[in-house]
């Protein structure tokens, strides 16, 4: 796993009951000479709030992306009504006479939306979309976004995040135009351990071609996993693809998103609590060498 960045730490269960609040930081090594501070978030308690509760949206953790399931995918990117996903965000910018905005960040396999919630205040002028294959989990994230907007209506918070149910292994180019995305996230994806199921993995040569298509030159693709073999797999395929190059340690240390990759998601917080190891691979979309 020499090409993967490895992090191991001892986790502790949260003692605070505040949602979406970092209670401490830890130092994580990105290499021999480079390290960053990673926030350790508390587990949110939604009791007595308008936020949805996960126990009401239970669903199996795994889903076969190659099954013949029916999804309401748009015919092309222009067919998506983004105003329905970000109504307040669009209304404010239209009133100000600004040009139409587009989704720039995509969290593929967003789970319960933890990363979206962290990204929203960090990039308030960027639209971030979560894409999740499980219907009940998608419903949870949508309700979470709406509830957060209501709770932060006075400040206009969380108006720039939303979620769609989608199978990105089949329909990603139907949502995004060529060169549209600046950041794409694959955080703690399903490892599909059995060799017969490796074709279900979200990082494959053919899929990387689609990711390169929807990403702009210079865009960043983030991956992290707690499964060493999957970290090796993703590093191998990304290293071999001509449209991607590894981001250097100094650039990783300067990127405000990188600390959130470790603990910004519910899955990442679980890995932290269990004192697990993580394997980070971050790549930049480069110019087409064959153009």
Report the distance separating Cα 208 and Cα 160, nearest Å: 26
Helix (H) or strand (E) holding 219: strand 215-225
CB atoms within 10 A of CB 170: 15
Between the alpha carbon of residue 198 and those of residues 64, 209, 218, the distances in Å are 11, 18, 29
Strand locations in 96-214, DSSP E? 103-108, 127-132, 161-165, 181-187
State the Cα angle at 122 between 39 and 184, rounded to 5°: 90
Of the residues 68, 107, 135, 190, which is catalytic? 190
Location of structure tokens 């308008």: 50
Report the distance separating Cα 79 and Cα 213, nearest Å: 18
Location of structure tokens 């949805």: 52
Report the distance separating Cα 101 and Cα 225, nearest Å: 32
- Tokens at 164, concatenated: 């769609």
Note the Cα 107 to chain centre separation in Å: 3
Whether residue 72 lies in the annotated active site: no
Name the residues annotated as catalytic. 190
């Amino acid at each position: 796993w020499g090409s993967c960045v490895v992090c191991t730490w001892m986790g502790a269960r949260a003692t605070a009951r505040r949602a979406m609040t970092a209670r401490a930081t830890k130092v994580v090594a990105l290499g021999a000479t480079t390290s960053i501070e990673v926030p350790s978030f508390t587990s949110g308690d939604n009791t007595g709030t308008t936020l949805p509760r996960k126990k009401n949206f239970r669903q199996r953790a795994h889903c076969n992306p190659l099954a013949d399931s029916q999804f309401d995918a748009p015919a092309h990117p222009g067919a998506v009504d983004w105003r329905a996903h970000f109504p307040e965000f669009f209304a404010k910018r239209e009133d100000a006479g600004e040009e139409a905005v587009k989704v720039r960040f995509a969290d593929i396999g967003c789970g319960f939306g933890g990363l979206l919630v962290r990204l929203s205040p960090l990039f308030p002028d960027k639209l971030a979309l979560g894409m999740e294959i499980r219907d009940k989990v998608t419903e949870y994230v949508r309700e979470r976004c709406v509830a957060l907007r209501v709770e932060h209506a006075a400040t206009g918070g969380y108006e720039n995040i939303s979620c769609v149910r989608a199978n990105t292994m089949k329909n990603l180019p139907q949502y995004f135009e060529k060169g549209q995305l600046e950041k794409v996230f694959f955080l703690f994806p399903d490892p599909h351990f059995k060799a017969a199921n490796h074709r279900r993995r979200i990082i494959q040569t053919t899929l990387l071609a689609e990711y390169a298509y929807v990403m702009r030159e210079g865009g960043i693709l983030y991956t992290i996993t707690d499964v060493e073999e999957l970290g090796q797999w993703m590093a191998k395929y990304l290293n071999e693809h001509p449209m991607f190059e590894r981001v250097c340690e100094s650039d990783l240390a300067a990127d405000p998103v990188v600390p959130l990759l470790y603990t910004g998601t519910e899955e990442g917080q679980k890995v932290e609590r269990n004192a697990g190891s993580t394997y980070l691979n971050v790549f930049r979309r480069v110019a087409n060498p064959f153009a």
